[in-house]
Chains A and B, each alone.
Chain A
Amino acid sequence: MSELLHMPKTALEDLITILWREGFKVLGPVARDGAVAFDEVRKVSDLAVATRETQEPGRYRLVPGPAGEIFGVVNGAGSLKPFFFAPEETLLEINRERRGFKVTEVAPAAPRLAFIGVRACDLAALAVQDRIFLHDRFQDKHYEARRKDAFLVAVNCTRSAATCFCVSMKTGPEASTGFDLSLTELEQGFVMRCGSAAGEAIAAKLGLTPPPHDDVLLAKSRIDECAAGMRRRLDTADLPRLLYDEAENPRWKEVASRCLSCTNCTMVCPTCFCHTVVDQEEIDGNMSQRVRKWDSCFSLEHAHIHGINFRRKIEDRYRQWLTHKLGSWIDQFGTSGCVGCGRCITWCPVGIDLTEEVAAIRAYPVKR
């Protein structure tokens, strides 16, 4: 399954067309509202071509990129998450009957989706969400319905944003698993790798040839350079224990003085899975829908029960988020909840950087 092929840039047009013809709705990184987001793509020019971005804590700007470059933007606020774990969807319809009521499960709308331009961190995030929604004690049918037929075309990163730290999280910059096809973009075309039988079947329709050996070497060195140039780091050594032991570290109070508890980090995070369920009754009182919506551990209601709020302070909620993301997630699911995509850093309105917070806690521990 690791067959390498050379795909000319012009053939990307064919790949998109073939995927549509195979019944997929094709999505890729499209420039929209000053950022890229996964959106419908009919032709290559729909993609955010000849564009790059600059990312810093609390800052994101699209900037012109080299002509002819197709996948220049590393990422935007939107990951794959909303396409599989819907931000809002109806789970049940409950109809009042003469004596009692009838509960009907609502089948999810599940178009077959193909994504072009998925970065290694987002593939890793998808594996994390799969672990939660598909491979735990209880399975989520809605997630599964959308996930099972998805076709994923990865793009290996040859440049990183300043907020990226996938090397520390061991999730990138090269996509190693979880894709159907992967691409490394070079000036002279793509080096394509098949990652699944479905990927091989689609690639076969493109009539591609093996890549020149020089392209393979260049692709590898571009990825290696990207990894070597990634400045942001997170020391993951013994993180659950560090965060558990440092529950009383004064840094939590300090970061809480900056944190707005706005929930942005959890909304852009590709792995955050908290959700709430609300019952919405129709105005005639005869039907009620059970609707699932994304929730955030930064919301005040998250840990609230009758008369008690277990995480009343922002410092409690920031500690919950970071300790869960980097620590207790590992105990719960055998994997970190962080993939190093850097979105929580970029899209934090006050530029809080979790790598900096962990480093500060590690540098000044208070545990006896």
Chain B
Amino acid sequence: MIYPARITARRTETAGIYTFTMRFVDNNVRRAYSFKAGQFNMLYAFGVGEVPISIVSDPADPENLEHTIRIAGRVTGVMAGWKVGDVVGLRGPYGNGWPVEEARGRDVVIITGGLGCAPVVGLINYIFDRREQYGELHILHGVKTPNDLLYRERFDEWRRAPRTKVYLTADQPDKSWHYKIGVVTELFDELTAPPSAIVMMCGPEVMMRFAARALRQKGIGDEAIYLSMERRMECAVGLCGHCQYREHFVCKDGPVFSYRTVRELFSTSGI
């Protein structure tokens, strides 16, 4: 069921990427709602359609839900025009979320690539809000060109935080780039995470495949690697069939999978 939710804040992250805070209009719906880090909602634009968007705000405050939306198509194009006070549609939460419990007490490696990966921003914020519960935090991010590096200030902020290391690389750098050059796996030479670390990844599948291979050389096993998969999600409840990833429904069995569960599928394209 779709419930009306009111936009209470709108923030422009960069051109074409906006973060909206929203609250359910109905008090009972709002109070009954809770979610886990890494889960997503289906956001609805009246008369246009729905898209799956991960929740980037903290599960400790389930009444104010933040969603970062990148304008990519017809529905998100309409969402770009959402203003404070607008009433939009929301149903959820769906999916399984990040293994934040399993990660507690361990060093955490977060690897992302490509254009800003919203699920990971929520995860990093989650860990920073409970910093004492986690060990060293390693954030690895690879982009094609420096222009693709969204949230540059945030990376700098994270870099300055204690017990946190940020590793950046660009495949096609320009003169402004003073980090590493190459694809994301280039960063693994510098990575100091121990074999006991837990890894969470989000990004292009080819990047995640090479990252998993490099992690194995660091002594980090496939069972300690989790990745967020992307597929077309329409119904979010495992009925419409679109998000199938062989035997998995990404919407209800994922979107976060243990690498051990899906590694066999990674070697074949078109699945």
Check A332/B247 contact, CB under 8 A, given A101-B4, A279-B49, A305-B232.
Answer: yes
A94 to chain B, nearest CB (A): 7
Contact check, B232 vs A138: say whether CB atoms are below 8 A apart: no
B269 to chain A, nearest CB (A): 8
Q: Which residues of B contact A (CB under 8 A)?
A: 1-4, 6, 25, 46-50, 72-73, 76, 87, 89, 230-232, 234-235, 237-242, 244, 246-247, 249, 252, 264, 268-271
- Bound together, the chains give a CA A277 to CA B264 distance in angstroms of 31
The answer to whether the Cβ of A303 comes within 8 Å of any Cβ in the partner chain is yes
Chain A, residues 253-276, CB within 8 Å of chain B (1/0): the string is: 000000000000000000001111
Contact check, B247 vs A103: say whether CB atoms are below 8 A apart: no
Contact check, A295 vs B242: say whether CB atoms are below 8 A apart: yes
Chain B residue with minimal CB distance to A140? B239
Query: B89 — which chain A residues lie within 8 A by C-beta?
Result: 94, 101, 103
The answer to whether the Cβ of A92 comes within 8 Å of any Cβ in the partner chain is yes
Check A279/B48 contact, CB under 8 A, given A244-B246, A244-B264, A310-B271.
Answer: yes
Contact check, A100 vs B242: say whether CB atoms are below 8 A apart: no
B267 to chain A, nearest CB (A): 8
**Given known contacts A96-B46, A101-B87, A302-B241, what 5 new A-B pairs fall within 8 Å (CB)?**
A94-B89, A99-B87, A103-B4, A140-B239, A313-B270
Q: List 23 A-B contacts (CB under 8 A).
A: A94-B2, A100-B6, A100-B25, A101-B89, A103-B2, A136-B239, A137-B238, A138-B237, A244-B246, A274-B240, A274-B242, A275-B239, A278-B49, A281-B48, A295-B240, A303-B242, A306-B73, A308-B230, A310-B232, A310-B270, A310-B271, A313-B270, A331-B247
Query: A101 — which chain B residues lie within 8 A by C-beta?
Result: 4, 46, 87, 89
Chain A residue with minimal CB distance to B269? A316
Q: Shortest 4 CB-CB distances between A and B: which pairs?
A: A100-B87, A316-B270, A281-B47, A274-B241
**Majority secondary structure of chain A interface residues (helix, strand, loop or mixed):** mixed
The answer to whether the Cβ of A324 comes within 8 Å of any Cβ in the partner chain is yes
The number of inter-chain residue pairs (CB within 8 angstroms) is 111
Contact check, B239 vs A247: say whether CB atoms are below 8 A apart: no
- Bound together, the chains give a CA A307 to CA B246 distance in angstroms of 21
Query: B238 — which chain A residues lie within 8 A by C-beta?
Result: 136-138
Query: B72 — which chain A residues lie within 8 A by C-beta?
Result: 306-307
B70 to chain A, nearest CB (A): 8
Within A228-246, the residues touching B (CB, 8 Å) are 240, 244
B191 to chain A, nearest CB (A): 28
Query: B87 — which chain A residues lie within 8 A by C-beta?
Result: 99-101
B93 to chain A, nearest CB (A): 14
The answer to whether the Cβ of A315 comes within 8 Å of any Cβ in the partner chain is yes
Check A310/B231 contact, CB under 8 A, given A133-B239, A328-B244.
Answer: yes
Contact check, A302 vs B247: say whether CB atoms are below 8 A apart: no
Within A171-192, the residues touching B (CB, 8 Å) are none
Contact check, A295 vs B241: say whether CB atoms are below 8 A apart: yes
- Bound together, the chains give a CA A121 to CA B174 distance in angstroms of 64
